[in-house]
């Protein structure tokens, strides 16, 4: 693989990350609202499904941008929404905080 | 030159995957944002392989694959499903489908072409280069 190809990809990833930031902020906010709803015991199915979809996308995308740790946290969040139990749902607030912290330097 | 169709509802994924395959392997890449559009493009372009996301709104990857199997024009194009982690239930569902491979997200843009070539056996069987001086049969 040429150095040019490598550089082209790195430049695209950096540019895409900047363009992706508004979407990322929106997605984090949705996850945090779902976590808050879960902590009060009022997690509607539609909210749960949306949060599951978002967590799934983040678990796939963040690693591509080089944020593997954040991607792994998103995957943990996905698992909670995929099979929500009262015991797992109370972990969501801490997990979403952890996710935001993992990305804090680049948000 | 290999020709690849990428089907994914995420703009970023399509963009990174396309550039990755173009820049690192010189492949020609087509992209579609949904299963339905992907099927139309597959029929029009007859790519050498299709890289398709699993979780998409409307028709997901496995459903789109099954729809492709109903069309003889594109049924034999190898399909690689792209998914973020594979759950136990998903593994069983994917195993019975007949796709060529499952690739996990996140993918490494620097090695995606190599990964695809390996699972499809393209390294052993590179595309035949046409000799312009040889008359057509």
Using a CB–CB cutoff of 8 Å, tell me whether B58 touches chain A. Answer: no
What is the pLDDT at residue B137?
Answer: 47
Give residue limits of the domains in chain A.
3-106
Joined together, the tokens standing for residue A40 give 């009060």
pLDDT digits (tens, 9 = 90+) for A16-69: 889 889 999 999 999 999 999 998 888 899 999 999 999 988 998 898 888 999
pLDDT value for B124: 62
Residue-wise pLDDT for A86-105, tens only, equals 889 999 999 999 999 999 98
Q: Among residues B129, B122, B131, which one has the least CA distance to residue B48?
A: B122
**SS3 of residue B10 by DSSP:** coil
- Give how far A87 is from chain B: nearest CA, Å: 20
Average pLDDT estimate for B21-49: 96
* The pLDDT value given to residue B84: 77
Query: Per residue in B88-131, pLDDT tens?
Result: 556 667 778 899 999 988 899 989 999 999 999 997 655 655 55
Q: Which residues of B touch A59 (CB under 8 A)?
A: 84-85, 105
Give the whole-angstrom CA distance, residue A86 versus residue A38. 8
A77 to chain B nearest CA, in Å?
13
The pLDDT tens digits for A28-41 are 999 999 999 998 88
Best A2, A5, A6, A27 member to test B by mutation, with max B CBs in 10 Å, is: A5
Q: Compare all CA atoms of chain A with the CA of B19 and give the residue at the minimum distance.
A: A9
CATH code of the domain occupying B3-120: 3.40.50.2300
CB contact under 8 A, A59 and B13: no
Best mutation site among A3, A46, A64 for testing chain B: the one with the most B CBs within 10 Å? Answer: A64
Contacts of B13 (CB under 8 A, 6+ apart): A60, A61, A64, B6, B53, B82, B105
pTM, entire model: 0.83
Q: How far are the Cα atoms of A7, A55, B84 from residue A76, in angstroms, in the given order? A: 32, 9, 12
pLDDT given for residue A28 in this prediction: 96
pLDDT of B135 strictly over 60: no
């Amino acid at each position: 693989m040429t150095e040019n190809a490598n550089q082209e990809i790195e430049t695209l990833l950096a540019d895409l990350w900047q363009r992706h930031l508004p979407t990322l902020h929106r997605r984090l906010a949705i996850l945090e609202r779902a976590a808050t709803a879960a902590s009060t015991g009022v997690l509607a199915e539609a909210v749960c499904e949306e949060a599951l979809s978002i967590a799934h996308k983040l678990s796939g995308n963040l690693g591509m941008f080089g944020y593997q740790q954040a991607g792994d946290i998103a995957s943990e969040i996905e698992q909670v929404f995929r099979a929500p139990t009262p015991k797992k749902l109370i972990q969501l607030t801490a997990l979403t905080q952890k996710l935001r912290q993992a990305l804090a330097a680049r948000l | 030159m290999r020709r690849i169709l990428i089907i994914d509802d995420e703009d970023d994924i399509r963009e990174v995957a396309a550039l990755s395959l173009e820049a690192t392997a010189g492949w020609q890449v087509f992209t579609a944002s949904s299963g339905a559009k992907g099927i139309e493009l597959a029929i029009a372009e007859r790519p050498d392989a299709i890289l398709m996301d699993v979780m998409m709104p409307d028709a997901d990857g496995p459903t789109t694959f099954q729809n492709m199997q109903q069309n003889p024009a594109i049924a034999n194009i190898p399909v690689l499903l792209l998914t973020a982690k594979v759950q136990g239930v998903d593994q069983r569902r994917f195993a019975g489908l007949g796709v060529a491979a499952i690739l996990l997200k996140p993918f490494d843009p620097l090695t995606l072409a190599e990964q695809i070539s390996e699972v499809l056996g393209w390294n052993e069987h590179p595309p035949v280069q046409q000799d312009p001086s040889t008359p057509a049969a």
